[in-house]
Structure formats: structure tokens, C-alpha cells
Structure 1
Amino acid sequence: MLDVRDISFSYSGKPAVSSVSFKLEAGKHLALLGESGSGKSTLLKLLYGIYDLDSGSISFDETSILGPKFNLIAGDDRFRYLAQDFGLMPFSTAAENVGSFLSNINITKKRDRIEELLDLVDMTDFAQVKPKNLSGGQQQRIALAKALASEPKLMLLDEPFSQIDSFRSKNLKRRLFHYFREKDIACIVATHEGDDALAFADEILILKDGQTLQKGIPKHIFQNPETIYVASLFGEAMQIPMRHFNAESRGEVIVYAHQLRISQSGLRAIVRSSYFHGDHYTIEASYTDGILWFRNSVPIMNGQGVFLSLMK
């Protein structure tokens, strides 16, 4: 089990991670979700032992994870950390990169393992190609296979699908996270993609300015965002005064676009634009307190007035 207790870290006196705590059981998956600069990458580096903590502690199976002041070589043999720069050997083949952590004692076993992992990331046809001749997305897939080669207990992944084509990444994500669960590999993924966090994580930790804003299971966080920042990580979200839906209500409510529906009464808005998304249109509209978005099955003429009700 990974046990992170009240850790903090600063760059040149500027806080980068502040009082973050969480636990991760064997085989479980945690998503670190937040905008760029929120502290996700720094937190992963702290977990791997690349930086020294200012305060707090990190342990894995009751063994302390320490930084460069205590270790000549950063990292833990039970972990694999995949950074955004991939760390591939440019003049070795894809297969040689994947097998670089594997023993040469049993060549047949090593070859079979390389073939298994190349198949997992759909790169079998590129086994003998050098990374310098591969696209960024292909390099990222080779880096994923390389990180998995020695069967780590914990994977630390920093935006692991950022350069992979959308149509290919969806299937790859399903295959990888199924593989992680099958092999009982714990995983921490830093991402800014709310959909990924909802689909594949057992728990989500929301970061902003290095601080934890909210932590919990995906469904609970999605349905009960504590701030507009949290909600906006999962799609179009707005903070709307409740008086627009009920004259006697006070305060504000956080609303997703899919929760607003055209009705006979309610919030009055003027349509500005309609955006086609395949199975629905996202409608942009203005109202007395600003801009909002809602979904509709058909486009609506610009300038048309509508009433919107809140669907919980």
C-alpha cells in the first residue's frame, strides 16, 4: 500500500505541492486531475523519489520513499515512472527499448515478454523501428510498454496518452487498464482529461495550485462538485443563482450543461450559437448574469429566447 502523509514541496520558496495526503491500495487506480500547473507532475516526481520533500512522508508497503539526499539513483524498483519526455533510447529499436529492463538469462522468455507488450500497445509491426523514426504517439506507446516490462507494483503515469490519436487512445486505455487490473498493478495517472478519470479511476484527487480541492470516488465527485473549478474539469459547467429557477431560493448552484432543459418557464436566456457534437447540440446562450450552455437535440436560431429548467 502507498501511504502519502501531509507532503509539501517548494521550488525556490514557491509552494508546488501543499499538505497532500492519500492512500492507495494494491491494484487500485488513482487519477490526479487538474489544469496545467496544478502540481500533478511535481507530485508524481515526489512519489518516485526524484525530489526531496520539504515535509511529510511517503511509504510503500511500510518502506519509506526518499529523495536524492538519501539515494544515489532516484526511484524504487517496485515502481515505474513514465514522464512526458518518454526516456527512450533513440538509436535502439522499439523492441530493444521495451526489453531494456529485462534479464538476458532466458532469451526466449524475454522475447515472448517483448512481443506480449508490443501487442498490448498495438506496436508489433514497429518492433524493429527506432524511436527517432516513430511519431510522438508511437513513441508514447513504446514508452508505456517499456514501463510495464518488469511488472511493477505501481505505475506513475504523467499524461500517458497526450500524443496518441483520439481514435486509437480510447481502445488503448481500455486495454491498458484492463491489463493493470488483471495483473493487480496499482496506478496513479496525472491527467487533465475528466472523462479518463471518470472511466478508469477508483478514486480521483483534484489538484489546484498544489493543493487538494476534493478527493473521492468518481461518481460522487462528478455529482457533487464542491467548486466550479472541479465541475469544469468534467465539461461545460456554470455557477447560476438559484433565483433564476425559483424566486424564493437564495445562493448559487453548480450546473452541468446536460442538466438544463428547455421548458415553459424558468431561467430566461437568449441563444447565441449552436455547436454540433454528433448525438446532440451544445447551445450557447446569454442571460442576465452571464453566459451558459445547455444541450438540445436540434440547433436553435441565434437570437431566439428560451426558458430553461434545472434537471437534477
Structure 2
Amino acid sequence: MLQLIDISFAFAKAETLKNISLKMKQGAHVAVIGESGCGKSTLLDIVYGLLQAQKGVVKWNDEELEGADHHLVPGHSMMKYVPQEFDLMPFTSVFENVGEHLSIQIDDRVSRIDELLDVVDMSSFKNRKVKTLSGGQKQRVAIAKALAQEPQLLLLDEPFSHIDNFRKNELRRKLFDYLTHNNISCLVATHDRDDVLSFCHQTIIMKEGQIIDFRATAEVYGSPLSTYTAALFDEVNAIPKNWLDTKEDLILYPHQLKVSKTGFSVEVQQSFFQGADYLITAQKDQKKLFFRSKKILEIGKEVFLNTIS
């Protein structure tokens, strides 16, 4: 189990992390999301030991972990980290990179490397030199290399940012299936809602170096505490309570509003084709709103919106 207790850290007097505390059970997959500069990558660097916390304690299974000030070589044996800059050997093969730290005396060394290359869909590139690969291919090799030594905790920083969209979904499914099957915990810093919603049990929301929410992912998404949180997942509507005669103001995603015969009136601004439907932007009282429609709507048209029951 990973535990952080009152972690604080500052770069040149600018506080980056402020009193961060959390617990992760073994086997849990936890996302860290927030606006750029909120401290996501710094948090992972602290956990792995690349940076030294200036206050607080990092624990693994109730044992305190010493940070960067106490180790010539950063990191901890039970963890592996895939940062945004990949730690690969460019002039050796994909196969050699993944197996770099595996003893040649291990009986199943070859089969383990082959299994991991299959997980990241790089089997057909096993004999290629890393320097010849694309950014997305290097990212997949880095993930396989991190898994080769069977860590108990995998730290991922924007793990699919270089990978083509048509490969992302299959890679995510295979990777998180592998982590689940092997009871490997995962802490992933990301901007991509698809990394979060389908694959992470819990979600941490960070803002200005602080954790402002940490709940089950479905709860964070379904009942956002603020428009800031909701906007990390989708466009967001802040609906004053007097518009729909509700007890309190509402925070709604576009799919939670529909064109209706009753509700509040808006003026259509634009329609954006999204494949299955259109994202419509509208305006009311100088306030921009977003909703979805099965058909394109005429600019300037007045429609009534209500919540989807």
C-alpha cells in the first residue's frame, strides 16, 4: 500500500505541492488529473524518489521511503516509473531494451519479454533498434520495459500522449488487464478523460498543488464538486437555480441537457459535428452553454433546454 502524509514541495520558493495526503490499496488504479502546472508530474517524482519532499512522509506498506537526498540512484525497487521523457537505449533493439535489467539466467526471460511486447503491441518490432522508432512506439517500449521487473506499483506520466488514437483504446485495455491480472497498482497522471473513466478505480483532482477531490471515479465524474472538476472531463454548464426552479445551482455536462418544450430559452450559436450527434453551443444572458442534438440546429434559433430525466 502506498501512503503519502502531508507532502509539500516547492521549486525556488514557489510552492508546487501543498500538504498532499493519500492512500492507495494494492492493485488499485488511480488517476491524477488537473490543469497544466497543478503538480501532477511533481507528485509522481516525489513518490518515485526523483525529488525530495520538503515536508511529509512517503510510505510503502507502512515503511517510510527515503527520498532523493538519500540515494545516489533514484527510485525504489518495488516501483517503476514511465515519465514523459523515455529512458531507453537508442542503439539497441526493442527486445534488448525491455530485457535490459532481467538476468539472462532467468528461465522464462524470453517468454516474459515476448509477453510484454504483446501487451504493448510491439512484437513485430522486437528486433528494430529503438532509434528508428516513432515517439508512440518508443512510449510503448518504455511501458513494457517498466513492467519487465514485475513492479508492485507502476507510475505513468501521460502514458499514451504520443500514441495514435486508433491504437490507444486497445493498448489501454491490454495494459490495464495485465495490471489487474498481476495485482499491480498504478498511479497515472493524465489529461485524457478516456484514461480515467474506463480504467481507473479512483480519481484525484489537483488544483494549484492541492488535492481538492479524491473519490471513486464514477462519483467524481457523476457528482463533480465544482465546474473546475467537471471541465476536466467535458464541456460544462453552470445552471443557476432560478433557470429551472431547482433548490441549488446545477453543474451539467452537454449530454445532460436536451431540447424540450419547457425549461429555459437559449439562442443557438454554432453546431459541431461529433459523429453520433452534434455539440451545440448556445447563449443565454451572455452565458455560453453546451448541449447535444441529433441534428444540426440553425444559428440564431431559439430553443428551450431542460435536464434529461
Fold shared by both chains (TM-score > 0.5): yes
For residue 252 of structure 1, report the CA deviation from its aligned partner. 2.6
Unpaired runs of 5+ in structure 2? none
Count of residues in Structure 1 that have an aligned counterpart in Structure 2: 309
For residue 250 of structure 1, report the CA deviation from its aligned partner. 6.6
- Matching residue of 2:271: 274
- Matching residue of 1:26: 26
Question: Structure 1 residue 166 and structure 2 residue 165: aligned?
Answer: yes
For residue 18 of structure 1, report the CA deviation from its aligned partner. 0.8
- Matching residue of 1:261: 258
Paired residue secondary structure (1:7)? strand
Paired residue secondary structure (1:38)? coil
Distance 2:218 2:190 in 1: 17
Paired residue secondary structure (1:204)? strand
Q: Aligned letter for 1:137?
A: G
Q: Aligned letter for 2:143?
A: L
* Structure 2 counterparts to residues 1-312 of structure 1, below 5 A: 1-106=1-106, 109-246=108-245, 249=246, 252-311=249-308
Q: Aligned letter for 1:81?
A: Y
Paired residue secondary structure (2:114)? helix
The answer (yes or no) to whether the contact 1:48–1:65 under 8 Å persists in 2 is no
For residue 67 of structure 1, report the CA deviation from its aligned partner. 1.4
Distance 2:278 2:101 in 1: 49
Q: Compute the TM-score of the two structures, normalised by the length of structure 2.
A: 0.97
Q: Compute the TM-score of the two structures, normalised by the length of structure 1.
A: 0.96
Distance 1:244 1:211 in 2: 33
Distance 2:2 2:139 in 1: 26
Distance 2:131 2:237 in 1: 44
Q: Aligned letter for 1:198?
A: L
C-alpha offsets along residues 134-156 of structure 1, whole Å, 9 cap, x if unaligned? 00000000001000000000000
Paired residue secondary structure (2:68)? coil
C-alpha offsets along residues 141-181 of structure 1, whole Å, 9 cap, x if unaligned? 00010000000000000010000011101010011001000
For residue 239 of structure 1, report the CA deviation from its aligned partner. 1.3
For residue 197 of structure 1, report the CA deviation from its aligned partner. 1.0
- Once structures 1 and 2 are overlaid, which stretch shifts more, 57-66 or 164-173? 57-66
Paired residue secondary structure (2:262)? coil
- Runs of 4+ with >4 A deviation: none
Paired residue secondary structure (2:100)? helix
The answer (yes or no) to whether the contact 1:79–1:153 under 8 Å persists in 2 is yes
Paired residue secondary structure (1:122)? coil
For residue 265 of structure 1, report the CA deviation from its aligned partner. 2.1
Q: Aligned letter for 2:73?
A: I
Distance 2:288 2:225 in 1: 21
Paired residue secondary structure (2:198)? helix
Distance 1:190 1:138 in 2: 20
For residue 301 of structure 1, report the CA deviation from its aligned partner. 0.8
Distance 2:244 2:195 in 1: 32
Distance 1:157 1:66 in 2: 21
Q: Percent identity?
A: 41
For residue 251 of structure 1, report the CA deviation from its aligned partner. 5.1
What's the RMSD between the two structures over aligned residues?
1.2
Paired residue secondary structure (1:87)? coil
Unpaired runs of 5+ in structure 1? none
Paired residue secondary structure (2:115)? helix
Distance 1:200 1:76 in 2: 25
The answer (yes or no) to whether the contact 1:41–1:158 under 8 Å persists in 2 is yes
Q: Aligned letter for 1:275?
A: F
Distance 1:223 1:138 in 2: 34
Paired residue secondary structure (1:69)? helix
Q: Aligned letter for 1:67?
A: G
